[in-house]
Structure 1
């Protein structure tokens, strides 16, 4: 491989990183040093050439060899210095302009502002917006004019808007709009001038450019065809896989794709382009077309795909990376792959230096490099060990991609997926045909609906397979390993990966590694997937560790049948807990209230488990969450029923008394978390092991009403309200006189739950306090001397909102 352009590409990247990460001053200094290095390299190169010319044909072999060797490193130093100086200089200039932008001071002061903008990318769904839900989007735009802090000016600069989905989600890149809100400083080093938080719809919206309108029409056709032909999750996934349209993908599926290491499938990447161009080149070869005709068709397909996926910066980047990989390989010029990739990196950084700190850019470069450099090496090594060609290639591609991208993903998410290689291996056969069929459906949709539906129908099995792989792999206990985040964590994992690759070159090291891997498979994996003694015998209640949320399972006395109280924020978490407990159906699912951390996991809970009914309290806000719940219920064939205070429900081994809410507000502000929390259904469960008080997220007002009513709140076990927050009344918490207090809370959550004062109050009552963030799943079981005891499964989950 010709690696001469690799050092200049790395130097250019380093120059941009220094300028953007450390500031324009260090960037200018590095650019100056790079120019000095370039001048030195150029001078040494010129001197070496003069020496070689003066030596002529009569020169000694030693002097000629020395003269020939000098230009090799000198040319590299010259090219690297020029690239570092050019990109670093551009990045430093841009960073200096951002630092002095008049909007920066207003953003630091948190001023109100009105911005006139032009969108540069599609509004992207904002995941994990908080327990109250409320769909919001991230809007990236270019500033046209601004009014803030009593001043008005015109100018440019990158801005980011956090806006409600309503009114913003349908906008297209290139459209002008006006927004008002509160400014905030950007925490990213990507040349973003400011962040605007707005709560209203856009004003003065202009028409989209013709190209973007055409792309929007094609994407809408694909979206409609997918929703018409396929089930909810496969239908939402197909547009995401083909053109990066993730607007229909729910938080549950999104989290499972992240956990399984399949996130790259939900964004337009070089692989999308490679699949499309590969299909075109294959058809050209089957039609015996010449290389030039095939190249023209490939270029047309590339342009068409960029139009379909929208020519935003991310799509253009993916197009460049995908074109480098597939065209170089298809034309049989493998030596040109590495220099073409390095040249693409340099050109893209010159056009947009902010790409240097863009995770998508790094993943695109690494994945493309792995595809054309590392994967063939792995295939050769496997073939040498008599692995069949098809299996070797199937193993090599996901393995190579995961190895090189894992450090970046670990730095971003603070975790390493232990199932990513397996998940990508299982998913790989479905991705290429589904991508090609999806593109075909999008092209056909505006003119031939039946043909588009047929293409989507053919892609249906592949989509269902990908959804199944994501859910199953994400449900594996211990699917992710917690890892230091940020640059430190990424560099640490990169160093370990590099060390491992070097060490595996020795046969003895490979044998030791194989023995360790087998030992882990035989010992650690079984104990993490199915820990010894779990589930415990005769459990009456299990508080599932679902992260920052609630998910409680109550045994009904009927084998495989239970009552579920809330489903948490993560479908894979509640699904895994229920699978471990052997729950196959629900006598009832109770959703205490409609906050995301209690209802977003409902799809995972209902996955393969019929529910007789889904019960809600008297207040049905937020309306968006209600629509989500009713849709899930309809898909599962479950009825929606209401629960009112005074109702008692009975099963052979369980009784549920509905205690509250006693005085719910008729009209609730869906954005007011406290008001919605006070609509929580409050239950008292009577089990063979005693009483359990289950107050959901009820806060002070609801708790005071229950205390004033004289309701019998005594219980052996208390589910601590609202994840142990400080919003509970001490009188309510102590009224239970509970011996056990269980807290459902996410490890490392951003809300400060549980509150130390609340934990101190509970400890002062003599109750044994156990928390899911410290102990994982908690099961209520018979005590050694009678009564009840609590058994912990371990392996606590982090708060999903930290991802």
Structure 2
């Protein structure tokens, strides 16, 4: 039987226009590379680009009659790319020379100290740090140095300061003394004192509160009256203001892959513009009026939200796309994205270094290339088990979320070291709630000053879906395996390469399937479906290229499964005696007291990482938990420890600074505040045949009167009797140099320590006297990878010398130290 199935006009997808992609790529390349090149290349690249383009144009002129039209077209695309990238190269050259002449580059390279006059780019955000609460803010330096040299070039910094920064908001000005602390991927500056509102140029250059500042402040105040997660999320979901998000919720949004929702981007812009266009069209206004109103809506929304990279990209792309539609020039999204990228980078080349801009372009490119073919492929299968409406909704959401996530993942891995396996699920649940928040929420923000009662009512209504997004984020974060660590080194690089290659092959195959015409008739064959499928696969894989592509896809899938498949066993030596837990920028150490028991010293800053270390070590009993002091990087993970295992006893030390109340740290009610020396013995040798060990631990110092929380650190001497000998380990918390010297002078610290846990993550203020006095054989450092504090300091590492075996969690991950029969030590890296 023959069934007629006529081909519809949209059965064959239009070819993708990639002619502007080389120009966009070259423009981004020169903007990214020129600031890092020697000055010789900086001066000559803007000259070389139009020259090379001119030479290519002359060659094309002579071969214009050639029959090899493909080569001629490729040459023309290359010529256009060179010419279109030239303006951006010239601007980057000017900025680089200006930065060199002003002395800014020298200040950054020398990690210098200078007076700085800045304009805030973001609102200050409070975060815990090893030294207590800090406020972090991104700012543009306008003047710096003793003479307040103007910066006629991009000079963006990330400032870490005290509570005085909390009084400022985005676009405010501030004047402070700062020291450059890091200049690798970003320029980090530590404020050495309070910030003064206004510029450093005097009272004639003070700032005034703008309508946008008043609107943002009013929105924060009104959002604070709503329910559940809405007070923290509403300012971000509506205006991209994340200043109200707590550290816990901010981390949950990142882990669940929902942080893009609170950074206003293309989705928000599209929703606002679409709502405005629908309104104008419903009023039956002329087409020219509608397009003008569309542009005005974009400008107004950008002005309200602020000049964020993702907003700039989305607004520019929307404007170019609308212009193309209005004048009948086509509406294919990829060339519009490429042209908007060129325009934006020509105006502001420094945006190429902004992660927000990179993610915005990558996500849009992924959606443009892969969403439609993936949606059609998914719909074909979902339509067999679901009604058409739900199949269409689910396939569309899955396609958009998947392609955006795959495109952004390699960029995300440049500043986070994990992936979120539940992010796709979280986006499927949370993204449909965004339109219920963005459009009415923006309206509420716009009228919040003139009609606060109406605005407050709207915000109470949108608080319900907003709380839904917060619930999804926090629930997903609490699921097992919510953070899967990406492998380090060559394994991580190879996995990223496989990721990119597999994604590219998958998208290309989907796109080709769209270009393959369907037959005008459908034959009802009697051949079994499995035989038809096998025959189809055989025909598709006859070519060598297809075979290689299929092999890459299989290898990529197997590699990802092998790396991230959960394993039952821990990553440490089964016979370990001491474990240094990789908990990021913080301390957590385990002293083995039996086959499945341990003494825990500190818990790091993260509950999930603390739990993971206990699980990897197969710990079932905690004989004692000692918190050296109450800084977040030593006590922040205690909730994860006590939720998994209830310790037999909990001890802590803290000073006289009221900033660190024990009641707010999660310590159990029966925790003991240690104020004087303590000696205890943990002896399971009689009933532990598998791992026979005796542990004696002594509190050498716990200063409860000091106002410096670091110097309140509990100093612990742990003596471990194993294999017929005793190993002495000294744990010093964050003890600073002056307090350490005082303990040594009082003869409280023994000499000839076998294992020393370096004070304060190896910071310079820990000093070297303790190292010289104890002469350790093994040094352990709990420290986060690429931390902004410069830990461990080179002076500390030099003081240890070549004969001391160093183990540090930023390089080794979770490591174990195992005592051997002859009392030498072997460190087994995870």
Q: TM-score, normalised by structure 1?
A: 0.72
Corresponding residue SS for 1:229 = coil
Q: Is the 8 A contact 1:617 1:680 kept in 2?
A: yes
Once the two structures are superposed, the pairs formed by residues 396-475 of structure 1 within 5 Å of their partners are 396-410=399-413, 412-413=414-415, 415=417, 417=418, 419-420=419-420, 422-434=422-434, 436-437=436-437, 440-441=440-441, 444=444, 446=448, 447-448=452-453, 449=456, 451-470=458-477, 472=479
Deviation string for 1:75-107 (max 9, x for gaps)?
645543431222222322333333223655676
Q: CA 1:110–1:554 in 2, change beyond 3 Å: closer, same or farther?
A: closer
Contiguous gaps of at least 5 residues in structure 2: 1-15, 200-205, 384-390, 511-539, 685-693
Corresponding residue SS for 2:712 = coil
Q: Is the 8 A contact 2:161 2:190 kept in 1?
A: no
Q: Is the 8 A contact 2:753 2:775 kept in 1?
A: no
Aligned to 2:791: 751
Distance of 2:46 and 2:772 partners within structure 1: 66
Q: CA 1:281–1:558 in 2, change beyond 3 Å: closer, same or farther?
A: farther
Q: CA 1:355–1:775 in 2, change beyond 3 Å: closer, same or farther?
A: closer
RMSD: 5.7
Distance of 1:208 and 1:122 partners within structure 2: 17
Task: Give the drift of 1:367.
Answer: 1.3
Match for residue 362 of structure 1 among 339, 358, 363:
358
* Residue 349 in structure 1 maps to residue 345 in structure 2: yes
Q: Is the 8 A contact 1:661 1:678 kept in 2?
A: no
Q: CA 1:578–1:271 in 2, change beyond 3 Å: closer, same or farther?
A: farther
Q: CA 1:587–1:334 in 2, change beyond 3 Å: closer, same or farther?
A: farther
Task: Give the drift of 1:354.
Answer: 2.0
Q: CA 1:242–1:482 in 2, change beyond 3 Å: closer, same or farther?
A: farther
Once the two structures are superposed, the pairs formed by residues 507-586 of structure 1 within 5 Å of their partners are 508-509=547-548, 512=551, 516=555, 525-526=564-565, 528-531=566-569, 543-552=580-589, 565-578=601-614
Aligned to 1:224: 224
Task: Give the drift of 1:430.
Answer: 0.7
Q: CA 1:665–1:496 in 2, change beyond 3 Å: closer, same or farther?
A: farther
Distance of 2:572 and 2:108 partners within structure 1: 52
Match for residue 168 of structure 2 among 166, 171, 188:
171
Aligned to 1:680: 713
Task: Give the drift of 1:646.
Answer: 4.3
Q: CA 1:248–1:692 in 2, change beyond 3 Å: closer, same or farther?
A: farther
Q: Is the 8 A contact 2:629 2:712 kept in 1?
A: yes
* Residue 316 in structure 1 maps to residue 318 in structure 2: no
Distance of 2:594 and 2:126 partners within structure 1: 42
Contiguous gaps of at least 5 residues in structure 1: 52-62, 669-675, 764-768, 796-803
Aligned to 1:729: 770
Task: Give the drift of 1:438.
Answer: 6.2
Distance of 2:45 and 2:753 partners within structure 1: 67
Distance of 2:441 and 2:490 partners within structure 1: 42
Task: Give the drift of 1:70.
Answer: 9.5
Distance of 2:318 and 2:642 partners within structure 1: 39
Task: Give the drift of 1:188.
Answer: 6.8
Q: CA 1:591–1:318 in 2, change beyond 3 Å: closer, same or farther?
A: farther
Corresponding residue SS for 1:413 = coil
Distance of 1:328 and 1:793 partners within structure 2: 62
Corresponding residue SS for 2:332 = helix
Range moving further from structure 2, 568-577 or 302-311: 302-311
Distance of 1:770 and 1:147 partners within structure 2: 40
* Residue 661 in structure 1 maps to residue 701 in structure 2: yes
Range moving further from structure 2, 244-253 or 373-382: 244-253
Q: CA 1:700–1:112 in 2, change beyond 3 Å: closer, same or farther?
A: closer
Distance of 2:496 and 2:563 partners within structure 1: 25
Deviation string for 1:494-545 (max 9, x for gaps)?
578657877998564566457656755776545x5422798979x9986533
Deviation string for 1:410-455 (max 9, x for gaps)?
4x3385x4x3464234334213414742664575474243542442
Once the two structures are superposed, the pairs formed by residues 43-122 of structure 1 within 5 Å of their partners are 76=77, 79-101=80-102, 113-117=114-118, 119=119, 121-122=121-122
Aligned to 1:673: none
Q: Is the 8 A contact 2:815 2:827 kept in 1?
A: yes
Deviation string for 1:549-571 (max 9, x for gaps)?
21245799999x99754221344
Q: Is the 8 A contact 1:279 1:436 kept in 2?
A: no
Q: TM-score, normalised by structure 2?
A: 0.70
Range moving further from structure 2, 687-696 or 366-375: 687-696
Q: Is the 8 A contact 2:237 2:437 kept in 1?
A: no
Aligned residue-pair number: 739
Task: Give the drift of 1:658.
Answer: 6.5
Range moving further from structure 2, 316-325 or 26-35: 316-325
